[in-house]
Structure 1
């Protein structure tokens, strides 16, 4: 984002159709998703239509914001507003993942020991309080758990390296070295893409060789929900950085004012931190 030193006002955008269009797109997406999971034939098509329409809305909505920024309509007050908005958005994402980590903690530290105590041995005598079990009634198909080697460890190295390359790109932008900024941004995006490729391979391995699925009890559901949503966030972060890279190549941003870059970088570093928690809690413990 570019900040104009001559804009003393607080910019208020004019009437826009994008908020209503975005809300309608999300409604269509969720209706399609609900039909999809309940076996309705129209569900996948409606869900896909909602996602595509949402992407179109975001393209034009963010395009309007970029145009407003590049034409000098944003002041320091707008810059502060964007920073607070991004901070609260990331906080909401922290709470989102905290809910899934909390579910994992409850299942492992509270429910599992409770089901294995003496009071419940009469109901489920064969239940063992070992993480990755097939449930107290033995209704879950046998499966193998996912260990930290080799793919999760490789992915950890990839994300940590991407955080370094992104930081180098940020420093290059602050020093006015746009070419270095573009190069290291590209490497950051490439590392994120490789990460997603390894995760896709890991899921294929889990389904076909470990028989580990979303239906594999509480272990399978928490594993795929945590790693799957994290993978979705990596994808969104890579898209954000790709837009930033395009803007850098187009000559946007200055050494002093570039919150569009910083906001995407904050998000990417947040995704890195979440992965470190996943790597320890999901793969090691």
Structure 2
């Protein structure tokens, strides 16, 4: 009869970080609501300061909490069971992000497949189109709003295509960095990871240039430019925010690598950052196809 081997499951002491995070999120919610109201009413108040305080507190909480987790991991307190818990947690987090983007892609699909054709009189909606918007032409991108505002569709060539190449390349370099870590090739790991970070930061820089071009007098593509402007900036903007978060994760991994952290058998933090980066890349490919090309 074989004897089962039991692992000890490390249970950390009570932590103050959850309550700090809750207070930070509360401040962000209150601050953001007041700040938007102040902008709308063109008044001055403390909404912006409350929002910044909440963001600063979130950063403080994340740095402190993650530092505790890193120190516990480096001290050898985590078992295989704990590693599975981390894997499940990251898997559910990425799944929630998939559903987040699915909602925005769903809104884009609904607008293009149902709303725009209906306004054009498709199906049994001839009277709807004639009453609501007689001059409407059912084409996408919708570059003319009911109030007569004209805008310009963003083409897929130029900066969007360049950013696609950058992100796809960064996914490859991230994979090479992961393979180098599994093979315990530290110099190659540092080089490939550094290249991945540079490519990600270049993507963000070019997206800023793209937004500047969109808001120029030439294109006049604004967030308020009807359903097309809304969906374009919401999808690309939230993706850009996720790229920023992914770059921060990779930068943290880079400094941990410099400090000698991670081994071929124990590197889930690096693997989790790699998972997230590949997820961001896949979302961009879908976004590039459905927002820019189709």
- Give the TM-score category using the shorter length: over 0.9
Q: What does residue 84 of structure 2 align with?
A: 80
CA shift digits 1:232-260 (9 cap, x unpaired):
00000000010011111101111111000
Q: What does residue 133 of structure 1 align with?
A: 142
The CA deviation at 1:133 is 2.5
Q: Is 1:174 equivalent to 2:182 in the alignment?
A: yes
Q: What does residue 233 of structure 1 align with?
A: 242
Aligned-residue Cα RMSD (Å) equals: 1.4
CA shift digits 1:23-75 (9 cap, x unpaired):
11011011111111111532221111111110011000000000000000000
Q: Specify which of 188, 191, 206 is matched with residue 198 of structure 1.
A: 206
Q: Is 1:120 equivalent to 2:128 in the alignment?
A: yes
- 2:144/2:150 contact within 8 Å kept: no
The CA deviation at 1:265 is 0.2
Q: Is 1:221 equivalent to 2:227 in the alignment?
A: no
Q: What does residue 219 of structure 2 align with?
A: 210
Q: What does residue 163 of structure 1 align with?
A: 171
CA shift digits 1:137-169 (9 cap, x unpaired):
x21521101010100100000001001111111
Q: Separation in 2 of the partners of 1:90 and 1:148?
A: 27
Q: What does residue 59 of structure 2 align with?
A: 55
Q: What does residue 258 of structure 1 align with?
A: 267
Q: Specify which of 186, 189, 194 is matched with residue 194 of structure 2.
A: 186
- 1:7/1:72 contact within 8 Å kept: no
Q: What does residue 162 of structure 2 align with?
A: 154
The CA deviation at 1:134 is 5.0
- 1:140/1:216 contact within 8 Å kept: no
- 2:178/2:189 contact within 8 Å kept: yes
Unpaired runs of 5+ residues, structure 2, are 39-43
| Aligned partner of residue 122 in structure 1, secondary structure | helix
Q: Separation in 2 of the partners of 1:140 and 1:234?
A: 35
Q: Separation in 1 of the partners of 2:6 and 2:186?
A: 26
Q: Separation in 1 of the partners of 2:148 and 2:239?
A: 25
Q: Which aligned runs of 4 or more in structure 1 are off by greater than 2 angstroms?
A: 132-136
Q: Separation in 2 of the partners of 1:26 and 1:174?
A: 37
Q: Specify which of 255, 261, 264 is matched with residue 246 of structure 1.
A: 255
Q: Separation in 2 of the partners of 1:145 and 1:133?
A: 8
TM-score (norm 1): 0.95
CA shift digits 1:53-99 (9 cap, x unpaired):
10011000000000000000000001111001100000000000000
TM-score (norm 2): 0.92
- 1:7/1:74 contact within 8 Å kept: no
| Aligned partner of residue 228 in structure 1, secondary structure | helix
